[in-house]
Homo-oligomer: A and B are copies of this chain.
Amino acid sequence: MKINKIEGTVSLRRSLDQGTEVQRKAVLNVIEHVKEAGDNALFTYTEKWDGAKLSTLKVSKAEIEQAYQDISPQIIPIIHEAAENIRNFHQKQVKQSWLSTKQDGTILGQQVTALDAVGVYVPGGKAAYPSSVLMNVIPAQVAGVERIAMVSPPASDGSLPTGVLVAADILGVEEIYKVGGAQAIAALAYGTETIKAVDKIVGPGNIFVALAKKEVYGMVDIDSIAGPSEIVVLADDTAKANEIAADLLSQAEHDERASSVLVTTSELLAEAVKVEVEKQLVDLPRESIARAALEEYGAIYITSSMKEALHVVNELAPEHLEVMTAEPMNLLPYIKHAGAIFLGRYSSEPIGDYFAGPNHVLPTNGTARFSSGLSVDEFIKKSSIVMYSEQALIDSVDKIAAFARLEGLEAHARAVESRFK
């Protein structure tokens, strides 16, 4: 990892794959085909791209039972406990409807309702994470979404990963379909004979999934399109180099495009972390991925003050921020932009990936400047409520009519005036 002293502003080097025009056209074709041919198109693409010749899309009870046989039994209570932690945290995000009455008898308010149906995309192969199932399904369930349809590309033998099936079953997900890629997104957006259309699609995927989500947005809602994972560690000289190095590596092993950055006021610590990273890299199973990520997107920045360090952190607006300083909680008010903030040395970032409770679906690529992690809020909507009293309308009819006429909308003025004719 390179060590840099800060001069002027800093911007995190990040990788964002927007896809090519060729990929976009291919995705548009897939969507059109699924709209026309429904399930048949799904079977065709699944054979073509996943190498699996299926006769049904829906995962059967027998397959779920088999997954429980195949999974390591000690992991099951851990998934249960993680799910409970995640559910407890998200329960705190539940928003209530409210009504407020004014003296003139007017009632104003907001009615909160859940989305009817949500689709959850779970990537296949090595990126098939049971934790993704938990993090995407639980907020929807807590919000009160009645129907959740999960889709995931099968292996060539037609199977889905055991961990994904068990996690989904633990949460009570009843619709799991063996289909992935742009064709799965099209099915969720437009519906087929087997898969009914949903109102929103969430979950990570490859570039074809991302492009398909972008295309169907408007027809259905989508979550944000995530870039590679990122961590920024903010540390002073009280932090331990081996712990910081381990945390930086845990992010770097995700993906060759992942970004791991240390921002510190301590030159000594910077040097020590650099050495530790090399030391710990050596026997890491995913060493080559982590090494590539650190070389391309890793960095160590030394700042002359904690104030400057905080400025750098806010400029970077990282997905994950660890604060390893003497009094981490004291710095919280100065942190403006970060998806998730981990305070103190016992808050190693991976506890947030699986277990602590907050969501691990977080804004990447600096979008923490304007967006938030996945939460219950993304699965509800708010209808505003207006119930004017007669007196309230008497008092305001002339003002409303005048405002409408200022905007040249005579029928608006006449509508409010019609009540007193």
- Indicate whether A8 reaches chain B with its CB closer than 8 angstroms: no
State whether A348 touches B242 (Cβ < 8 A).
no
Contact string against B for A residues 342-353, beta-carbon threshold 8 Å, 1 for contact and 0 otherwise: 111111111111
A346–B392 CB distance below 8 A: yes
Of A115, A252, A352, A415, most B-chain CB atoms within 10 Å: A415
The CA-CA distance from A382 to B349 in the complex, in Å, is 18
Asked if B200 contacts A370 (CB within 8 A), the reply is: yes
The one of B111, B345, B403 in contact with A335, judged by C-beta atoms closer than 8 angstroms, is B111
Which residues of chain B come closer than 8 Å to A115, judged between CB atoms? 369-370
Residues of A that sit less than 8 Å from B by CB = 16, 18, 72, 74-75, 78-79, 81-82, 89, 92-93, 98, 100, 106-108, 110-111, 113, 115-116, 126, 129-131, 163, 199-200, 218, 220-221, 225, 242-243, 246-247, 249-250, 252-254, 280, 284-286, 290, 328-329, 332, 335-359, 362-363, 365, 367-373, 375, 377, 381-390, 392-393, 396, 399-400, 402-404, 406-416, 418-419, 421
What are 13 A-B residue pairs whose CB atoms fall within 8 Å in the complex?
Answer: A78-B403, A115-B370, A130-B407, A332-B385, A341-B383, A344-B388, A348-B418, A350-B409, A350-B412, A351-B388, A351-B400, A352-B384, A354-B403
Instruction: Give 11 A-B pairs besides A246-B414, A344-B387, A358-B384 with Cβ atoms closer than 8 angstroms.
Output: A116-B336, A243-B419, A250-B415, A252-B411, A253-B409, A253-B411, A280-B414, A341-B383, A341-B384, A350-B412, A359-B384
